[in-house]
Amino acid sequence: NAGVTQTPKFQVLKTGQSMTLQCAQDMNHEYMSWYRQDPGMGLRLIHYSVGAGITDQGEVPNGYNVSRSTTEDFPLRLLSAAPSQTSVYFCASSLAGAGTEAFFGQGTRLTVV
């Protein structure tokens, strides 16, 4: 079972570069989300989607774009990378409805120099 797959696992960017973090799930989950994890700050929600064609902003959306053209894929785009975006990024998916389990990918460790 693949679950939630994130690529790449590691990435180094120069300030100002753009890139896309890929996320795919094979569980037919309606709900997908992107988090960033920084030391001492838990996971903070960047963007989320409740279904194909629907996206919304989370707690820290600035500098990031998302789209959801299919149920399976939810890419995260960094428009112009900044050192403040150095972090570990996690994609998660879950069924819609209260109390459902969120399944996480293994994360992408991004360094912006």
Partner 1 sequence: TQLLEQSPQFLSIQEGENLTVYCNSSSVFSSLQWYRQEPGEGPVLLVTVVTGGEVKKLKRLTFQFGDARKDSSLHITAAQPGDTGLYLCAGEETSGSRLTFGEGTQLTVNP
What is the nearest approach in angstroms of partner 1 to the Cβ of residue 71? 15
Residues constituting the chain: 113
In the complex, least distance from residue 101 CB atom to partner 1, rounded to whole angstroms:
5
Q: Which is nearer to partner 1, 19 or 102 (CB)?
A: 102
* Closer by beta carbon to partner 1, 19 or else 45: 45
Q: How far is CA 8 from CA 24, 57, 59, 68, 91, in A?
A: 12, 23, 24, 19, 12
Query: CB-hemisphere CA count at 13 Å for 97?
Result: 4
Contact between 32 and 75 (Cβ < 8 Å): no
Site for partner 1, rule CB under 8 A:
4, 31, 33, 35, 40-45, 48, 50, 58-59, 90, 92, 94, 96-102, 104-107
Minimal distance, residue 15 CB to partner 1, in Å:
26
Q: Among residues 5 and 17, whose Cβ is nearest to partner 1?
A: 5
The 3-state DSSP class for residue 85 equals helix
